[in-house]
Amino acid sequence: RMQASYINPNPQVFEVSEIKRQGREEEADNEVDLLDSLEVFDILRKINDPEHPLTLEQLNVVKLENIHVNATEQIVSVRFTPTIPHCSMATLIGLCLRVKLLRSLPDTYKLDVEITPGTHNAEESINKQLNDKERVAAALENTNLLNVINNCIAHTD
């Protein structure tokens, strides 16, 4: 058998955080349930890396402190950190994050998915692609690409 060639053959694996939402069940029925960064982190943390059998949280690609929610203006901003500065999977990972959020959040939310500044050498062009609705829609029409994305976000609920 041929050995699969990886872009990053030995990524550093990080401890998974024990952060969990507390007391969700006791919330009063008349309270407005505002989205917050922990809820968004919970939506994204178990997405699988396209290259390794690890989650984006385990690889520190997605971190709670890089997720910001403005509930009143309904804006969700996610910054993700590729494991290496020349990671060719960065666009795919960004698409996985965007698709998972599109499927999980009300469509009234505006989504900004970007690479953490200074962590990838094609950061500007990738950010442009990830936040261009037409380009994202075109990418999602590609059956092979959509299958890869669906595999990455499978079993993440």
pLDDT value of residue 5: 62
Q: Among positive and negative, which fits the CA dihedral 25, 29, 35, 40? A: positive
* Tokens of residue 100, six digits: 């998972």
Would you say residue 28 has pLDDT above 90?
no
Largest CA distance in the chain: 60
Q: How far apart are CA 148 and CA 132, in angstroms?
A: 20
Q: Is 10 left (phi over 0), alpha (psi -120 to 50) or beta?
A: beta
pLDDT value of residue 25: 47
pLDDT value of residue 26: 46
Beta strands of the chain (E only): which ranges? 67-70, 75-80, 110-115
Q: For the segment 99-138, what is each residue's pLDDT rounded down to a tens digit?
A: 999 999 999 999 999 999 999 999 999 999 999 999 999 9
| 137 residue type, one letter | A
Torsion angles phi and psi, residue 92, rounded to 5: -60, -45
Q: For the segment 68-91, what is each residue's pLDDT rounded down to a tens digit?
A: 999 999 999 999 999 999 999 999
Which residue would you say has higher pLDDT here, 18 or 77? 77
pTM summary value? 0.84
Which residue would you say has higher pLDDT here, 12 or 23? 12
